[in-house]
């Protein structure tokens, strides 16, 4: 099967990785490359933008016009652009994989609406190993007493906008779920607050600097011991590989909301 893939946000850092990954993946074909209208990438060859030989797919700004020849869309664009992608895919019957983080409540509602018509997978992190970490964190939080403080340390490159990262928040949500709780909408940035730590709760410490791809360290801190669960990304390509594999899996699925865990478990 030759799966036709469209990329929204093709001119970004992840966009180039996605183009390269699709190029190297059998049975997948880049069918559309979308960037914001008026962007510098409009009209350029998507392969050339990614450092590959020309692929014959020019970057366009009109997603609706491109959807007729696409099986699945991968969106790694801006948080404020995802709602429009969700509406377009829902209306056109095209599967959607979203890796963009920092999504607000109205955008999440648009994704839910799209999921009533097409398969939609949303993930703050498309690394396969990181999604295994999410499961481990939830299990550890469920097993350990609530007297263990939970702290999530994360580090990213200096250009990352959201803090804590979407992945850190997903890890916090997994820890909270393990304790039968919900993560507060406004997370506790314990690393920047003086004074003694209150019991319970989940804290976040954030570092931004250099070209760090992504580091996440979840610590369960008890009296006399610590449990540390860590994921370190050294190559941005891991996110592209995970996203492309999950997007290909999504094609042909019934409408609904899916997680990376659904994709991972389906392989077992």
CATH of residue 86's domain is 3.40.50.720
Catalytically active residues are: 156, 160
- The CATH number for 133's domain is 3.30.360.10
Query: Would the pLDDT of 45 be above 50?
Result: yes
Structural domains counted in the chain: 2
Q: How confident is the model at residue 268 (pLDDT cuts 50, 70, 90)?
A: very low
Q: Give DSSP secondary structure letters for the chain.
A: --EEEEEESTTSHHHHHHHHHHHHSTTEEEEEEE--TT-TTTTSBHHHHTTSS--S-BEES-HHHHGGG-SEEEE-S-GGGHHHHHHHHHHHT-EEEE------HHHHHHHHHHHTTSEEEE-S---HHHHHHHHHHHHHHHHS-TTSEEEEEEEE-TT--SSS-HHHHHHHHHHHHHTT----SS-B-GGG--SPPPSSSEEEEEEE-TT--EEEEEEEEETTEEEEEEEEE--THHHHHHHHHHHHHHTTPPSEEE-HHHHHHHT-
Question: Do 177 and 228 have their domain in common?
Answer: yes
Question: Do 112 and 7 have their domain in common?
Answer: yes
Question: Do 16 and 106 have their domain in common?
Answer: yes
Question: Do 15 and 106 have their domain in common?
Answer: yes
Question: Do 69 and 199 have their domain in common?
Answer: no
Range of the domain at 152: 128-233
Question: Do 55 and 110 have their domain in common?
Answer: yes
Q: What is the pTM of this model?
A: 0.84
Question: Do 134 and 213 have their domain in common?
Answer: yes
- For 48-105, the pLDDT digits (tens) are 999 999 999 999 999 999 998 899 999 999 999 999 999 999 999 999 999 998 889 9
Question: Do 146 and 20 have their domain in common?
Answer: no
Query: Would the pLDDT of 38 be above 60?
Result: yes
């Amino acid at each position: 099967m030759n799966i036709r893939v469209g990329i929204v946000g093709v001119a970004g850092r992840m966009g180039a990785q996605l183009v390269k990954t699709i190029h190297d993946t059998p049975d997948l074909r880049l069918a559309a490359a979308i960037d914001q209208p008026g962007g510098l990438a409009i009209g350029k060859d998507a392969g050339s933008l990614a450092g590959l030989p020309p692929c014959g797919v020019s970057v366009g700004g009109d997603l609706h016009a491109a959807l007729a020849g696409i099986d699945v869309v991968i969106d790694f664009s801006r948080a404020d652009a995802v709602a429009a992608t969700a509406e377009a895919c829902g209306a056109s019957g095209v599967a959607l994989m979203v890796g963009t983080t920092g999504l607000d409540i109205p955008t999440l509602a648009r994704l839910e609406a799209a999921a009533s018509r097409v398969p939609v997978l949303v993930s703050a992190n498309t690394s396969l190993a990181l999604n295994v970490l999410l499961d481990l964190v939830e299990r550890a939080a469920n097993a350990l007493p609530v007297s263990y403080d939970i702290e999530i340390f994360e580090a990213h490159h200096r250009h990352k906008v959201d803090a804590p990262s979407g992945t850190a928040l997903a890890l916090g949500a997994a820890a909270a779920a393990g304790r039968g709780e919900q993560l507060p909408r406004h997370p506790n940035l314990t690393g920047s607050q003086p004074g003694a730590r209150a019991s319970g709760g989940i804290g976040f410490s954030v570092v931004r600097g250099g070209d760090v791809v992504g580091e996440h360290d979840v610590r369960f801190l008890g009296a006399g011991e610590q449990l540390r669960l860590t994921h370190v990304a050294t190559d941005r390509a891991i996110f592209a590989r995970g996203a492309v594999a999950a997007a290909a899996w999504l094609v042909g699925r019934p409408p609904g909301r899916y997680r990376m865990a659904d994709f991972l478990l389906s392989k077992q």
